Structure 1
Amino acid sequence: MPEGDTVWWTARRLDRALADRLLVRSDLRVPKLATKDLTGRRLLNVTPRGKHLLARVEGGLTLHSHLQMDGVWKVYPVGAAWRGGPGHQIRAILGTDESTAVGYRLPVLDLLRTENEDRVVGHLGPDLLGPDWNAESALRRLLSDPGRELGEALLDQRNLAGIGNVYKSELCFLAHTTPWTPVGEVPQQALERLVALAHRLLRANRENPTRSTTGRGDQRLFVYGRAPRPCLRCGTPVQHSEQGDGSRQRSTYWCPVCQHGPAPQPPVPGEEHPVGRPPRH
């Protein structure tokens, strides 16, 4: 699942393959860009910003992409077979005389003036893996809405950029707090530690294609994707539910013993999940 560390790693691979080289192939397979051709321009650099990728091209242009849930960029030597998916899933091709970058299932692809990049990334909070990282600013942004659920606040890229579903669940576990706990009910020192831990974990994983939050080679994640297997700390079955405001529900995992605070009640067989704000334990 592409999160800030995956996007950083993707940007680095693209930059190593394409930066400071002339584009000899350009094929942007989305209707609004079908007539745009970057062939003959030098690709200057590929920079990550939160979960966004900015490929800056000679002439003051930026190709902006976002991976969301399923998007991926693959890099191949010229002449090698492409194995990222069927051809109809290809949205972008950028090629030099040595390498070809192929973007599959990219839900967001735009071409804009480099001077206008703020239109697509200017709303983002401090980037956990960027030169603008500022823990104090991230903390202030999280605390600006104390009634908001912690998991939702962590996912809001306007607060801090780079956290997705996996890190949301893992960070809340490591903070011993359920994702449904209001931000204002988390002690400030605990919230400061959580922000620092988010920065540390993403940095530790940014060059590692196999993400780990546990430090254990065979068990990479504490709770994400583990329901109903036992919690790695206490042995209680890990729980799974959806979290969101109704417009977008996100898979969420937690341990009902190791984490304190409100959470959805386990469903009764034959009944649906309760609707509305989850009750407190």
Structure 2
Amino acid sequence: MPEGDTLFRIAAALGPALEGARVLALELPRSDRRGDRLVGRRVERVEARGKNLLIFFDDGIVLHTHLRMSGAWHLYREGERWKRSEASASVILAVPGYVAVCFRAPIVRLLRASSLRGDALLGSLGPDLLADGFDPAEALRRLRALDEVPLGVAIMDQRVVAGIGNVYKSELLFRKRLDPFAPVRVYSDGELSDMIDLGRRLLQANVEPRDAAGTYRGPTGHYLHTRTTRTGFDRGRRPVSVYGREGHACYECGAAVQMRRQGTMMRSTYFCPRCQPPRAARSAAEPPPV
């Protein structure tokens, strides 16, 4: 499912084909905005911000897409057969030699680059875990602002850090042996900082291309690989520890992995009840541990 690593790989796969190229066509079949005014402009850069993909054009316009659960970007050679139906296309961007197609994206917008900082969806994003200038202190400060929120909900809030979805949430908290259902305030700054650091390292480990940049392997193909959150996993065992493994034995202790839903969106959280025992909540009046 699309999380920060997925969008990073998409941007890295689209970039060599699009950046610097002149737009031959831009269609937005599911939007009331017209893309034809960008014909003839050049693509300046393709950038991932958390779970968002931004394509910048040389006239100051930005194409913003968010894939949520159903969307996908594909890159095709000119004339190549598409892997999905044209009726499901949300964006069709043609440049010399290539066509980039976004299918079933629930969010497709054209914005001015100057408005991104104040944008309701993009302006409030927390530090991007995959950004070169990631600020761990700012991420911790934002997480502490949600002290009464269960940790499994807070770490998914894109205003805290950008890029973590259900898979990384469950895997990260399991790896650090943290109770997803305890409020943020029961954890020390050291525990939270270590968790954020591991989250960054897990995402970074999953954005290594299997081919040199620019090598064409079909629709975003040179970045396709199995997401791995465990090290040294054995044959027959999944490359994740708990995600999607409800009812199966924990690889570490043998207890049955469980799943509970959290937050207003009722997102799934997978956890091991033995490796991640309940963390007793302190009084709200107590200062947080350090």
TM beyond 0.5: yes
* Corresponding residue of 2:161: 160
Match of 1:50 in 2: 50
- Structure 2 length-normalised TM: 0.86
Residue 214 of structure 1 aligns to which amino acid in structure 2?
R
Letter matched to residue 39 of structure 1: V
- Measure how far apart 1:31 and its partner are: 3.3
Q: Using the alignment, how far apart are the partners of 2:34 and 2:78 within structure 1?
A: 23
Select 1:260's aligned residue among 264, 277, 287. 277
Q: Is the 8 A contact 1:5 1:207 kept in 2?
A: no
Look up the SS of the partner of 1:257 in the other structure. coil
1:213 and 1:220 in contact (8 A); partners too: yes
- Alignment-mate amino acid for residue 81 of structure 1: R
1:9-88 residue pairs with structure 2 within 5 A? 9-34=9-34, 36-83=36-83, 85-88=84-87
Q: Is the 8 A contact 1:61 1:113 kept in 2?
A: yes
Matched letter for residue 30 of structure 2: V
- State the alpha-carbon separation in 1 of the partners of residues 132 and 123 from structure 2: 15
1:10–1:25 Cα change, 3 Å: same
C-alpha contact 2:27 2:35 (8 A) present in aligned 1: no
TM-score normalised over the length of structure 1: 0.89
Aligned-residue offset at 1:121: 1.3
Percent pairwise identity: 40
**Per-residue CA shift, 1:48-93, capped at 9, x if unaligned?**
111111100121110011111111100011111100x222211000
Paired position in structure 2 for 1:238: 257
Alignment match, 1:269 = none
* Runs of 5+ consecutive residues of structure 1 not aligned to the other structure: 264-281
Q: Structure 1 counterpart of 2:229, which letter?
A: T
**Contact in 1 for aligned 2:89/2:103 (Cα 8 Å):** yes
In the aligned structure 2, how far is the partner of 1:217 from the partner of 1:186?
32
**Comparing 159-168 and 216-225, the one that deviates more:** 216-225
Q: In 1, Cα distance between the equivalents of 2:272 and 2:45?
A: 42
1:234-263: CA deviation from partner (whole Å, max 9, x where unpaired): 111110121113xx1101100011002169
AA of the residue aligned to 1:47: E
After the TM superposition, list the runs of 4 or more consecutive aligned residues in structure 1 that deviate by more than 3 angstroms: 34-37
SS of the aligned residue for 1:47 comes to strand
Distance in 2 separating the partners of 1:207 and 1:87 = 30
Q: Match of 1:108?
A: 107
Partner Cα distance (2:37, 2:103) in 1:
18
**Contact persistence 1:27–1:37 (CA under 8 A):** no
Q: Distance in 1 between matches of 2:173 and 2:36?
A: 44
Aligned residue for 1:64, secondary structure, equals: strand
Post-superposition shift, 1:36?
4.3
**Bigger relative CO (Cα 8 Å, ≥ 6 apart):** 2
Matched residues in 1 for 2:234 and 2:60: separation? 44
